[in-house]
Every structure is written in C-alpha cells, then in structure tokens.
A and B are shown apart, each in its own frame.
Chain A
Amino acid sequence: MVDLEKDLATLAETLVKAANNPNINLALSRAVKSYRENVNKALSRFPHTVERAREVREIKLQALSNLQVLYEKAAKSIEENHGKAYLAKDGSEALKIVSEIVGTGKLIVKVKSMVGEEIGLREHLEEKGNTLWETDLGEFIQQLRNDRPMHILSPAIHIPREEVAKLFSAFFEKEIPPEIAAEVAAVREFMREKYFKADIGISGANIVAADTGSIFIIENEGNGRLATGAPPVHIVIVGLEKLVPTLDDAFKTAEVTWRYAQYTVPSYVNIISGPSKTGDIEKVTTYGAHGPKEFHVIFLDNGRLALSQNETFKEALLCLRCGGCLYECPVFSLTAGYYGYKYLGGIGSIWTAFVAGGIEKAAPLAYVCLRCGRCQERCPMKIDVPRMTLALRQILTGNHAD
C-alpha cells in the first residue's frame, strides 16, 4: 500500500527546494534558451529531419513488435564479427555478466550511459574493487559531486560554470577559473593518460543495427572514441529497445537522435561492430590490433520485452533519449532531474513504472506531470506522454473499467 499523501508531500518539498535553488534557475534558463535556439537552427538547416523522424517512428514501432527476433539476429551478427553478445533479463544479471568480464582491481574508463545509471553500474564496479572514471564532462562533474545525472544528455545541466570552477579547484588542488574553456582543459589533462592505462572501456549505445551487429555511439567530446578505442576490452551495455533491423535504419535513427539532441552535426558518430583486427601479415586475420581485442555487448531486458507487448505503454520504448522533452517541460525547467527517479520528466515516470524503479516509485512522479503536452510537440517520436500519464494514474486509482 502506497501512501500517496506522504510520498507527494516529500516529493513536493524536493521540487520546491529545487525550484528555489538559484543555481538550478540560472543554469536551466541558460540551457533551455540555448537548446531552443540550437534545435531550431538545426531543423531549419536540415528540414528533412522532421519527415525522417516520422519514418524512424515507424521503423522503431515495427522493431518493438519484433524485439526478441532482432536480438537473436544482432547476437548472431556480433558473434560472427568475433564479439560476444549476452542477454541480461534484469539489472542484477547484467551486473553479474559485467563483473565476470571485469573482475577486480581494474582501471575502467566509462562513457555516459543511462542504462549504466539504471542498473547502478559505477557503484557496483567500485564496490568490486575497481577504479572507474566517468569520461563525459557532465557525468565527471556529477561523479565528483557524488550525485546522480540531472539530465539524460547533460548530467550536470544544473551546475553553472562558477560552481564547476569551485568543484574542480578543490579536486585538482589548483586554481581553476570560472571559465568553461579552462574547466574543459583541466579535465582533458587529467583524463588523457587514463584512457591508455585503462584495462577496460565501458559504454552504452544509441542504436544497434541487428543485421550487421553494429552499435552507434553519438558524441561530441571525443571521450567516446578514446574510451572505446584505447583499452584492450570494450563492454557495451544497451537496452533492447535500441535495436533496429538494418544499418540503414540505424543511420536514419542516428541522424534524428542527434538533431533533436541539438547536435546539428555531431563531431563523432562511432560505429563499432567487433574487436579490432588486422590481416596485413599474410592475410591472416588477427584480433586485437590497435583497438580492443575483446568486444562484449550486453543487451538489457529489465522489463523492456514485457513493455514492448503492452499496447497502452509500449510507445515509451520509442524514446531516443534526445532530451528535447526535458527542455520543453515547464516543471523540469524549474527543478531539473529532481523531477524523476533514474529516468527523468514525464516520460521518465513511465520508464520508472515499467523498467527502472517500479510502480511504487513511479506513483508520486506520475502526479507531477502537468499533462500540458509540450513535450509531445517537441518529441521527434511524438510519444504521447500525457495519455500514458493518465493511463498510469488510472492504474494507481483502479477507477477504470478494464
């Protein structure tokens, strides 16, 4: 029995505190403004994106009705490419598979991943006696702050540069001025050697093409290619919903994802299909050239397969994680990730209910959504969050016919 009165009171307190935090206010108003400008610019420079988004919605809807088969196809392709594929039915199974590959006492460089957040990957690997560095700048800031991501793409969205400077000055034990370029340079210097000393690189993936077994990682910082290219082992953890049938579908999905994520053209799109290899001596293929020798892809179910069969809520799995909805959410723009559990905002409540957290955690969050509908206007997949929010509330009240 969930006492919604109590849970709502606690949540209200958290949200109001966040809304009154001047740092969140300052950082979010800057971020929302620049998101809107950037995405409008991106869409007017590449106007075909809107039509392509409709096409991708159809591709993804088809894929959702076929996830198990797509997984089998992708796993077969990855194995043929001399990688290894796994299917983890839940978070603890995924952590067990990772632990068996990683062991203990290792140095790990990690690329930002919401699935990692979903299953508590960093905490788990640290508990097992490993050292792990978050290489994404925002996630690194949150790691130092011992805090969780406050936006799916920009984890430290709520921290203005002045606060970052204070944090870095303390950590690096030298004066870092409140200038973004200086802050970025300090992290670059610190992280550089880690990539080459690391035993393992861990990443998520934006898309997986089942036919070639290729994973896509869209990024700008360059940490993605270093962390997945330099260490001898690369582990990918990816949600099953990221599967699309073909490489062609994957390119389309990638373009829509980055454009609505306000990366007009991203600096890097990493496409990885297997371990590094060479056939330069006598045409004998040898694995483990300059890049990783091992390539492991762990597909995570954790409720996704069941959700893909649920006619009312399966739409939630279309989410590309572009983050556009969060910038348009009036509540999020006041409270950042305090409106959410692991997945954030209105769409986050649905994910909390079915994938990460459970219905009891989702219950109070489901009542925060204003059902104002602006997220859906922005969403490239046109995910109907207001409708699903209502359906979730009906489950909570039990006051519905079927």
Chain B
Amino acid sequence: MLEISITPPATIELVRQNILKYKNPLGLKGRELTSWAEGLNFSHDSEYLFYTGTEYQMLPYIDSLVKALKTMNQLGSGKKILFGLRNLVDKFGFNPEKIYAGILARDRDKTANILRKHVQILNSLGIVPQYLGEEELYAGALLYEYGYLNDLREIARKLSEIFKSRGIKKIIVASPHAAEMLREVYPDFVDFPFEVYTMPEFLAANFAKLSPKAPTKKIVIHDPCRLARELDVFAEIREVLKKSGYSEVIELPQSGKFTTCCGGATKLLFPELAEALAKQRVHELEKSGGEEIVTACPYCYFNLSQYSNLPVKDLTEILI
C-alpha cells in the first residue's frame, strides 16, 4: 500500500475543525441556522423529519468566505492565508461574525425562503414533520469528499442516535449531498433504519395531493450531479414539472446522467476554478432557449445564480 503523510490545506482543516467542534462546516450557530424555521408548523412526534443538514443556510456564507479567501489571496502570499486561517481555527475556532460581516441579508432571505417552501409543501401534503432545530448536525459530506472517513463515521453515529431518540422513521432531505450521506454512505457504518427521500422523489410520489402554481416560464433543468448520478433521481423532477403543467421543458444533451457539474463542489479548495466551471455550465443553460433554470441542490442553486443572467429557481419555489 502507498504511504504518505501530508499537511492538509488550511481550508480543509478549517472546515473539518468547524464540523467537529461546532455543528457545521462554517461554524455557524444558533439563529444563523434556525431562523428560517420561525413561525412554521412543526411537530415533536411525527415519524417524518425534515432534515436540512444546515446546507441551504450556509451557502450564502460560503460565498462570503470564498470572497474573503480571494481578497486575502490578492493581498499577499499563500503563506499569509495559511497563517491567518490557522490562527482563526486554533485560537478562536471560527469567527463567522467577522469574516461574514459582508453577507447580504438578501441572500440569506433567499435560502431561508427555499427551506420554508419545502416545509410549506410538506404541510400541504398533510405532513407536519419534525425539525431538529439547534440539535441539527451537518451530515458530513465535505468530510467524506476530503477523505476523512473516521470523522464521518462519528457524525453518522451521532445523527443516527438523534434520529432514533426522536422516534423518526422517514427523513426528507433538502440537499442531495446530505441525502447521499444518509442513503448511500451511513448504512456502511452504522445501523441506519430510516427511509430517506430527496425532495423531488417525495414530491413525485405524493403529487396527487399537491396543487401547484400554474407555469409561467419556459424551464431548463439543471440536474445536480449527486442527485442524478449517485442517487439516480432525475425522472422525478420531470414528472413533477409535467404534472404541474409544464408541457415544454427544455432538455439539454448535458442533462440527467450526463449533466454538467456546476463547480460548487470545489468552491472552497479552488474558488477561481469553481467560478470558471459555473460560467461554463451557465453558458450551456443560457443558450438552451430556456427562460428560467430549475434545480434542486443548494450548491447548484447558489453557484449558478451568481453567474446566470436567467433566474435560477429551486424546484420548490416554482411549485408554490
């Protein structure tokens, strides 16, 4: 077997320590993660759980972090960043308030709104799910991506215990990255006796009870990689749209199993490359003739909407 030892990049170490010490990759806390849910209808004993994995909430902050990384990059040598970030992690944990001072309320509202739509749709299907609130943990997808399997195992164990203690049987997951962890990865590590649904799957299965808005624009679909390839979910999005009255949905050759990555996955490690990847995908989508891009993943949603001239919508947003 190959042997090597590495000093990991500061960005990875930062994200890892935040996940281990706090509850999510950016060290966000309290209302930053939970305020979206205020005033919504949840239950304490439903067999259904709505699980956000804190991903939609953190996306607006990721952009700010990336911007901060970029600025620091322009200011000086790589070593400065290394030193700066290491210090942040070692001495203060991570201080979102300072780095994220520039975060736009508008961006936070956008993702909060998407999560609210998820819950409102579930309510309209007659489901009042549980929400873990401040107890919720990030599912660990980035740890998995970066190669920290033991750390991920620990999170899987904790989450599984929380789910069990709350009597949960069915989990509706907002982000495909979290859904991949729960459905494809956790069962290798821990006893995980839960049914896991992505939102498009749940919507397709329960469409009869839904009364969606009438179509307004010509839609082009951006299939998220994890959803289409790992989880094999792409027909469901089309089914939901078709039943909602979208008779004409534009299909790119690069859709479904051949969809193009939005670049979001590599945003923290290679921000400039991620930007080029997003622009490449936006170009494909914009020349499709569609008037609106629909997707179902927080990373795709954010990475694409930053560079797109067309509006980018989450699947839940165009339904209600």
Q: A-side interface residues toward B, CB under 8 Å?
A: 1-6, 8-9, 12, 15-16, 19-20, 36, 310, 328, 330-331, 333-334, 353-354, 359-360, 363, 367-368, 370-374, 376-378, 390, 392-401
Contact = CB atoms under 8 A, between A and B. Distances in A.
A371 B264 CA distance: 11
A5 B230 contact: no
Nearest to A330: B261
A41 to B, nearest CB: 13
A19 to B, nearest CB: 4
Contact of B270 (A12, A310, A371): A12
Nearest to B148: A399
- In the complex, which of the residues A36, A330, A334 has the most CB atoms of chain B within 10 Å of its own CB atom? A330
A19 B276 contact: yes
A397 B266 CA distance: 18
Interface string B236-273: 00000000000000000100011111010110011011
A305 to B, nearest CB: 15
B194 interface: no
A363 B6 contact: yes
B145 interface: yes
Interface in B83-115: none
13 contacts: A12-B272, A12-B273, A15-B273, A16-B276, A19-B272, A359-B3, A368-B270, A370-B266, A374-B229, A392-B147, A397-B6, A399-B147, A399-B148
B150 A359 contact: no
B273 A16 contact: yes
B216 interface: no
B7 A401 contact: no
A9 B281 CA distance: 24
Nearest to A366: B147
- Report, nearest first, the 10 A-B pairs whose CB atoms are least far apart: A393-B147, A372-B261, A400-B149, A373-B229, A399-B148, A397-B147, A372-B225, A5-B9, A19-B276, A9-B78
Contacts of A393: 145-147
B277 A395 contact: no
Contacts of B2: 353-354, 359, 395
Nearest to B265: A370
Contacts of B273: 12, 15-16, 19, 331, 334, 368
B154 to A, nearest CB: 11
A95 to B, nearest CB: 24
A377 B261 CA distance: 13
Q: Is chain A's interface secondary structure helix, strand, loop, or mixed overall? A: helix
Nearest to A12: B270
B76 interface: no
Nearest to A333: B280
Interface residues of B, number: 41
B4 interface: yes
B36 interface: no
B39 interface: no
Contacts of A378: 258
Nearest to B149: A400
A344 to B, nearest CB: 16
A392 to B, nearest CB: 8
A333 B270 CA distance: 16
Given A330-B280, A359-B4, A390-B145, 14 more contacts: A1-B5, A1-B7, A2-B4, A4-B7, A5-B8, A12-B269, A15-B273, A19-B276, A20-B276, A334-B277, A359-B2, A368-B273, A394-B149, A400-B149
A37 B259 CA distance: 16
A15 B270 contact: yes
Contacts of A2: 4-7
A346 B260 CA distance: 15
Contacts of A368: 266, 270, 273
B42 interface: no
B45 to A, nearest CB: 36
- Give the interface centre of A9, A354, A367, A397 by most chain B CB atoms within 10 Å: A397
Contacts of B162: none
Nearest to B85: A5
B82 interface: yes
B143 to A, nearest CB: 8
Contacts of B263: 330, 370
Nearest to B228: A373
Contact of B6 (A4, A330, A401): A4
B307 to A, nearest CB: 14
Given A19-B276, A397-B146, A370 B225 contact: yes
